[in-house]
């Protein structure tokens, strides 16, 4: 269990560690493993589908963070997508 982040640096470290784990998984996973079916709370899906769902959901949370920063009077950092 990870300790709840309390500072900007904590959040950055947690997110960096999370994406490092995902990157390592992708580097060491072949297409056959990505096609494996796993049980999720919403049903049976492939591992690839789980990754795509996560990828599609990240902009949602980024948008929430940008809105929160704006409401606090903080300019959100610039972002270049694809």
* Mean pLDDT in order along the chain per 10 residues (82 residues): 75 84 92 95 94 88 84 81 61
What pLDDT is recorded for position 77? 77
Helix (H, G, I), strand (E, B) or coil at 77: coil
What is the pTM (predicted TM-score) of this model?
Answer: 0.64
Phi-psi region of 43 (alpha: psi -120 to 50; beta: other; left: phi over 0): left
CA 12, CA 46: separation in Å to the nearest integer?
29
What pLDDT is recorded for position 8? 74
What pLDDT is recorded for position 2? 65
What pLDDT is recorded for position 81? 65
């Amino acid at each position: 269990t990870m300790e709840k982040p309390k500072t900007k640096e904590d959040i950055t470290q947690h997110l960096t560690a999370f994406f490092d784990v995902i990157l390592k998984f992708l580097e060491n996973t072949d297409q056959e493993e990505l096609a494996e079916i796993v049980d999720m709370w919403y049903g049976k899906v492939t591992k690839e589908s789980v990754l795509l769902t996560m990828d599609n959901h990240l902009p949602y949370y980024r948008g929430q963070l940008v809105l929160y920063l704006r409401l606090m009077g903080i300019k959100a950092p610039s972002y270049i997508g694809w």
